[in-house]
Amino acid sequence: MQKIDIKKAAGVGALSLGLVVGLAGFAGASSGTIGTTGPDSNNQITHESDVDMDFDNDNDLNLSNHNDQYASSGEAETEHNTTGGNAHSGNASNANAVNATVEVNNSQTASAYKGAVGGSTSNSASINNTGPDSNNQVKFESDTEVRVDNRNDVRIINTNDQSSRTGDAEVHGNTTGGSATSGNATNTSSSSFTVRVSN
């Protein structure tokens, strides 16, 4: 009786009589040969491949931006003058710009899978020149199980509080009064968030 039993897992092969095994990743090509056996011999070539992979990607992205701004210009007064000049209050302005880019790439999961199981396999077996009434058997079994769990949680909090106030411009109590001009009050806010998740 001649028996060849191939068991392959995690890139390790168990070799027995007359066996030639080639491994590419976990599920590479395998070959076995049995030849010139006597009558009533039991000749078996068995290949078993079992690959079990579990990928867990858990990505938590938290973006938080809080902006408080306050702008105020002072007061301008012209009062109690014989000839009053002009009163001008300046401008008050706030500007806020936020740009955030976040990228998560889980594509290495696919690369790991390809590297583990390899490409297409070509298994071969040969039993020849056996005696009469011999039992010749060839069996190839391959089992690949892949589980991929991707959990992506993205939270963005953007808070922008702005306040601008121009001061008072007053002209009063003058024999001859000038002009009173109050400045501009301006608020500007710009927010841009870009999130890229590749599984």
CB 195 within 8 A of CB 154: yes
Per-residue confidence band for 145, with pLDDT thresholds at 50, 70 and 90: confident
Q: What mean pLDDT value characterizes the chain?
A: 77
Q: Find the domain containing 127 and state its range.
A: 2-198
112 three-state secondary structure: helix
Single out the residue of 78, 106, 105, 108 nearest to residue 173, CA to CA: 78
Single out the residue of 81, 101, 98, 93 nearest to residue 163, CA to CA: 93
CB 46 within 8 A of CB 6: yes
Residue 50's pLDDT is: 83
Query: How many domains is the chain built from?
Result: 1
Q: What is the pTM of this model?
A: 0.54
Residue 61's pLDDT is: 87
- With a cut of 60, say whether residue 72 has pLDDT above it: yes
Single out the residue of 101, 106, 100 nearest to residue 151, CA to CA: 106
51 three-state secondary structure: strand
